[in-house]
């Protein structure tokens, strides 16, 4: 089966009367997630990594992300701060 992309002008015509619900949701996510700190070293300003194991959860409009500390490289869940990957020298950004 071959999929053909919808031309941009057709997409714009289909979406012109629809409310933008993604931009406010993304801005709220970024604002709330930026307040999280690394459970290992306490640094802020995490890097957001798309959770490729389960990118979408039921009822959510944004994909799921986890965080990587920009200081030590620890991977952790954003809201529970549970470690899901240990820092290694090659992962430090």
> Domains of the chain: which residue ranges?
39-93
pTM, rounded to two decimals? 0.67
Which has the closest alpha carbon to 43: 72, 22, 10, 11? 72
Per-residue model confidence (pLDDT) at position 93: 52
Gap between the Cα atoms of 75 and 39, Å rounded: 9
pLDDT tens-digit map of 31-79: 888 888 888 888 888 889 998 888 888 888 999 989 998 888 889 988 8
Which has the closest alpha carbon to 38: 91, 83, 88? 83
Query: How many angstroms separate the Cα of 4 from the Cα of each of 7, 8, 11, 58?
Result: 9, 12, 13, 27
pLDDT at 86 over 80: no
What band does 92 get if pLDDT is binned at 50, 70 and 90? Answer: low
What band does 13 get if pLDDT is binned at 50, 70 and 90? Answer: very high
């Amino acid at each position: 089966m071959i999929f053909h992309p919808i031309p941009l002008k057709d997409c714009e015509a289909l979406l012109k009367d629809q409310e933008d619900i993604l931009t406010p949701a993304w801005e709220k996510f970024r604002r709330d997630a930026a307040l999280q700190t690394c459970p290992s070293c306490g640094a802020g300003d995490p890097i957001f990594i798309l959770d490729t194991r389960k990118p979408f959860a039921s009822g959510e409009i944004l994909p799921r992300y986890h965080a990587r500390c920009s200081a030590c490289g620890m991977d952790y869940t954003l809201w529970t701060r549970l470690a899901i990957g240990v820092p290694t020298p090659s992962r430090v950004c």
